[in-house]
Amino acid sequence: MNPAAGNILPIGVFDSGVGGLSVLRALQAELPLERFVYVADNGHAPYGERDDAHVLKRSHAIADYLIASHGIKALVVACNTATAAAIHTLRAAYPELPIIGIEPALKPAAALSKTGVIGVMATRGTLNSEKFRKLLESLHGSATFVLQACDGLADAIERSDAERTLALCMEYTHTMGHFGNAEGEMDCLVLGCTHYAFAALELTTLVGVQVSLMEGGLPVARQTRRLLEKIQPGALATDPATQTAHAPMFYSTGSVGLLESAVHRWLGLECPTLPLQLA
């Protein structure tokens, strides 16, 4: 890749739906002069309740599209389930392309927690993955992790179903146990699905403001910067004198209106979404 031309190439971002917008928000804050192309695969969602074969097929189809149609200079897999299922095969298939995945923020939570008890809300697909098992094993002895599979929550957030979102948040946090700063209580709650960041208000109301909610968007944004600086010197758009901020491009394999509404609600942007058909 020509570094001189790299500044005009976009960074591809994809998720099963609107949850990855929380990662895109962090990417825009960290890399405000970059161009982004976002694909919401909401026509084939939710990933967290599908098998690995389905997630692998969709992840590679989207990566192929972003590379062939947009010439992306990096790919951000803004989905915990897709990262767990497909990140290794994506990197093997595209060895020259910086590919950044996301994982539940267990390590930062373990470093921050005072009680040593940490709640983890994630999709069943993420919690059952080999990648998550290895992450959990690497932290053995550092904290106690209370794991909760949150069936249906990502879908409720995806559909902006406020009543169902609140009901599921209530159900799952109640099932997990006690939150707080006392001994044996969970003082950190890891949001192991990018969708869950958009239920932060409901979750904070339920578990208390003293409990830290741990998202994965900021570490992903910082890693994207580090990788591009290391692998492709000069590829980052960093000069305000010669660069201007670009509105992201949005594509949806499902409901265009749903994604446009989410972009407006959570990013404050009025951007058209284009329909996308992928085999």
**Helix, strand, or coil (residue 100):** strand
- Compute the CA torsion angle 252, 253, 259, 263 (nearest 10 deg): -30
Q: Is-catalytic flag, 169? A: no
Report the residue count for the chain: 279
The residue assigned the tokens 């099932």 is: 175
184: left (phi over 0), alpha (psi -120 to 50) or beta: left
Q: Is-catalytic flag, 79? A: yes
Catalytic residue among 150, 188, 193, 271: 193
Catalytic residue among 79, 150, 169, 188: 79
Residue 273 bridge partners (DSSP): 250
Residue 260: which residues within 8 A CB-CB, separation 6 or more? 250, 271, 272, 273
What are the catalytic residues? Answer: 79, 193
